[in-house]
Amino acid sequence: MPDIRPFRALRFDATTIGDLAAVMAPAYTRIDAAEHERLLARHPANVVRVDLPEERHGDEPDVRYRRAARALAEWRSGAILHKDPHPSVYLYAQDRGPAGVDGSPLLRGFMARLRLEPVGLDAAVQPGSDEPVGDAEDRYKILRATGVNTSPVVAVYDDPSGGTTGRIAALTASPPEINLVDESGIRHRIWGVAADGGGEMAAAVASLTAPASAGPVVIAAGRAIYDTALRYRDERRMSRSCEEDPAFDYLLTLFIERSAQTPDATALTGLVLNPHEW
């Protein structure tokens, strides 16, 4: 069965950034050359500098990946990114409407870590109907250089009890920690829910993740990222074979109950980052 874990996310610091929308980006497969230039100019800490690093005239091979690693290191050592103090799951909602106004719901789910394993029709992680999209070698080089997941794979699961919608509603009743509207008018909200220490919230997190952990999950988007993470995991195991339960065995994943799936379920890049060390 799928192994789903809370984690301590890296997140952009709103007190330093101001408008978090300035540092977010669409999925890399949706960014053309003009959009890439616009995102680079939008903010010096826009996540595109790590997720889709620029290639400058005269660059030697793979310099762009080292540039991404330097940018991430600078953000982590400064006040741009902070690591959450507690392992958490991250409730995620998309709506069509302005911030502060309930609009048409598009997506409800949660982000957590999924233990990597080979994808198969009879495995805990199963393939979707679509072929992998994106440059797998590019994704591998970025992951190897930075050691973080900047955007999640989307995985769909079944909840025969029908209780997921109510659990998500209960956990998102409080004001969100991130509440922004992108340029297409889609509102994105995030709630971090600590899963350690016991108590009601930890129990609520356990009940939320239980249905996804009870049966197979299907990769609905991000297969190229998943396959890249498997390759990276196998490489790291060669050099750190004695490490117990290493973070590189897991991948940032957005879990969506099948009845809440939308035809185009993708999250903004940069809402939460998953570091490959505890």
**Per-residue model confidence as pLDDT tens digits over 234-245:** 999 887 666 788
Produce one character per residue of 61-73: b if its CB has 16 or more CB atoms within 10 Å, e if not: eeebbebbbebbe
**Integer-rounded Cα radius of gyration of the chain:** 18
The pTM of the full predicted model, rounded to 2 decimals, is 0.93
Predicted local distance difference test score (pLDDT) of residue 245? 85
Residue 188 falls inside a structural domain: yes
Q: Among residues 132, 120, 150, 149, which one has the least CA distance to residue 233?
A: 149
How many domains is the chain built from?
Answer: 1
pLDDT classification of 50: cutoffs 50, 70, 90: very high
Q: Cβ–Cβ contacts within 10 Å for residue 36, how many?
A: 17
Residue 225 falls inside a structural domain: yes
Residue 114 falls inside a structural domain: yes
pLDDT classification of 262: cutoffs 50, 70, 90: low
Range of the domain at 150: 4-11+82-275
Beta bridge partners of 198: none
Q: Which two tokens stand for residue 131?
A: 């072929």
Predicted local distance difference test score (pLDDT) of residue 133? 62
Q: Among residues 188, 55, 218, which one has the least CA distance to residue 122?
A: 218
For residues 272 and 278, what is the distance between their CA atoms, to the nearest angstrom? 15
CB 109 within 8 A of CB 256: yes
% the chain with pLDDT above 70? 92
Residue 237, CB-side half-sphere exposure with 13 Å CA sphere: 11
Predicted local distance difference test score (pLDDT) of residue 270? 93
User: Residue 25: phi, psi to the nearest 5?
Assistant: -150, 155
CB 190 within 8 A of CB 176: yes
Residue 139 falls inside a structural domain: yes
Indicate the SS3 state at residue 77: helix
Residue 154 falls inside a structural domain: yes
Q: What is the mean pLDDT of the chain?
A: 90
Residue 70 falls inside a structural domain: no
When mean pLDDT is compared across 80-84, 126-130, 259-263, the lowest value belongs to 259-263
Whether the predicted pLDDT of 99 surpasses 60: no
Residue 29 falls inside a structural domain: no
DSSP class per residue in 120-151: -TTSSEE--SSPP-S-HHHHHHHHHHH-EE-S
How confident is the model over 92-104, as a mean pLDDT?
71
| 262 Cβ contact partners less than 8 Å away, ≥ 6 residues apart | 106, 107
Amino acid letter for position 186: I
Residue 97 falls inside a structural domain: yes
Residue 117, CB-side half-sphere exposure with 13 Å CA sphere: 16
Predicted local distance difference test score (pLDDT) of residue 265? 65
